Amino acid sequence: MPHIDRRQALKLLAALGATGLASACSVGTGDDSNDDDGLVSDRPVRIGLIVPQTGGYKPIGDEMLNGFQLYLDTHQQRLGGRPVDLVIADEGETPESGRAAVDSLLQQQVLALTGVANSAVMLAIRDAVEEARVPLIGSNASPRSLQSVVYIWRTSYVADEPGLALGGYLAREVSANGEVAIVAADQPAGRDVVQGFREGFGASDERISGAVIWANATPNPGRDTFTEPIQEVIFRDPEAVYCHFTGSAAVEFIRQLRDAGFEGPIYGPGFLTEGNVIDQLGEEASGIVTALNYSADLDNSANLQFATGYRKRYGASPTTYAMSSYDAAQVLDKAIRSAGPGVSSQELNLALGRVGQIDSPRGLWQFNQPRTPQQKWYLREVLRDGPVLSNVLITELATLG
């Protein structure tokens, strides 16, 4: 936390845990004295899951829900030895709908919150979460400007990190006189992704000196949504395009870019080809190179178990959205168990700082001081893997966080 002394914050939270405020947030009713050392109990913990269930971000929300539910399914529907009462609230696709979702969950006295797909929503709910002193384990949205938080943790990444990881690589791939056109949705996540890429590539490098081409940030684009940005790309005739879009916006942008005649390489954060984007684009996605904190073909035991279980349950390869939500459940599992009987939201928040390393499908990671993962980033390319196109792991890029 850049602007908060962490020791002071923990002392403050510990003091709160000893007051009636902590008792008011305790899970369940009555006395937990019969709990078996807090390791196993029949008293449920109520967890609020904030994911888009309507609107253009719904596919991401479905992945996040799938990942969290898969962890519960493989752990007897328990976290920290306790049955889970999972309450799902629709994030929608606006800051207003996201705030309403959080308010409804806080009114239901949840022990903790998790989820959040949209960076604009994460920024909009920041104060409500901090004031309620209920920990939020964000499993997707993680804007760079989200600083000095005590109760917000993230199992995903910081939004500028995909660009930081990919920028240095692309700077070595582009010729000395080549230009990279940068195109992104004009929204918080898009601005973070661009800033990270420029820093990783070299902000003063003339090959990225052209103005960023900002595009409409709608999650539900039409056939003419990207006409002007693509016309600008074609006019510049760059050697490569670096772009940031997700879901249906990624499908439309890439399809329209190819239809307009651009035949050069396309790079971007891994969200560009996550989920069903490849299925919708088919061969038009072939060769797209991305950076992400996860690849479904990672060779480690945790991922073998996770990816196999996910494919068996949902009939598709898992995404970073599902993986980060699965890890959010794993983090809560460890922290709730560590917090012991009669756990309150404040005590849980302290326990989150003690979870240590997470044996994740992405590889081992742990929380850093700003409450985000210190983790590896991977280079992937859309290639034919047997009969299907998929994101294929190429190499490790960097460790960030």
Q: Which residues pair with 396 in a beta bridge?
A: 378
Looking at residue 40, what is its pLDDT?
59
What is the tally of helices (H) and strands (E) in the chain? 13, 15
Q: Do residues 127 and 242 share a domain?
A: no
Which are the contacts of 301, defined by CB distance < 8 A and separation ≥ 6?
none
- 310 Cβ neighbours under 8 A, 6+ residues apart: 66, 67, 70, 316, 317, 318, 322
**pLDDT tops 60 at residue 19:** no
- In degrees and rounded to multiples of 5, residue 22 shows phi and psi of -65, -45
Question: Is the pLDDT score of 15 beyond 70?
Answer: no
**69 burial level (CB within 10 Å; 0-12, 13-18, 19+):** buried
Is the residue at 343 inside a domain?
yes
Backbone angles phi, psi at 319, to 5 degrees: -115, 175
What band does 63 get if pLDDT is binned at 50, 70 and 90? very high
Q: What is the pLDDT of residues 190-223, one digit of tens each?
A: 999 999 999 999 999 999 999 999 998 888 888 8
**Same domain, yes or no, for 176 and 264?**
yes
pLDDT at 110 over 70: yes
The model's confidence at residue 26, banded by pLDDT at 50, 70 and 90, is very low
One-character DSSP codes across 325-366: HHHHHHHHHHHHHHH-TT--HHHHHHHHTT---EEETTEEEE
Percent of the chain at pLDDT > 70 equals 90
Q: Is the pLDDT of residue 37 over 60?
A: no
Express as a percent the part of the chain with pLDDT over 90: 84
- The yes-or-no verdict on residue 124 having pLDDT over 50 is yes
Q: How many domains does the chain have?
A: 2
Task: Look at strands 358-360 and 363-367 and give their pairing.
Answer: antiparallel
Q: Are residues 201 and 264 in the same domain?
A: yes
Question: In this structure, are residues 246 and 272 in contact, taking their beta carbons and an 8 Å threshold?
Answer: yes
CA atoms within 13 A on the CB side of 174: 26
Q: Pull the structure tokens for residue 141.
A: 């949205």
pTM over 0.85: yes
Rounded Cα gap, residues 197 and 163, in angstroms: 4
On whether the CB atoms of residues 48 and 113 are closer than 8 A, the answer is yes
CA–CA distance, 298 with 293 (Å, rounded to integer): 11
229 in the same domain as 194: yes
Report CA dihedral (353, 51, 60, 137) to the nearest 10 degrees.
0
**CATH code assigned at 267:** 3.40.50.2300
234 lies in the same domain as 167: yes
Label the pairing between strands 152-154 and 82-90: unpaired
Domain span at 136: 6-157+299-367
- 247 by Cβ neighbours in 10 Å (0-12 / 13-18 / 19+) ranks as buried
- Our measurement of the distance from residue 168's CA atom to the centroid of its chain's CA atoms, rounded to an integer in Å, reads 22
Are residues 13 and 150 both part of a single domain?
Answer: yes
Residue 9 pLDDT > 70: no
Q: Are residues 12 and 67 in the same domain?
A: yes
**Domain check: are 35 and 63 in the same one?**
yes
CA atoms within 13 Å, Cβ hemisphere of 398:
14
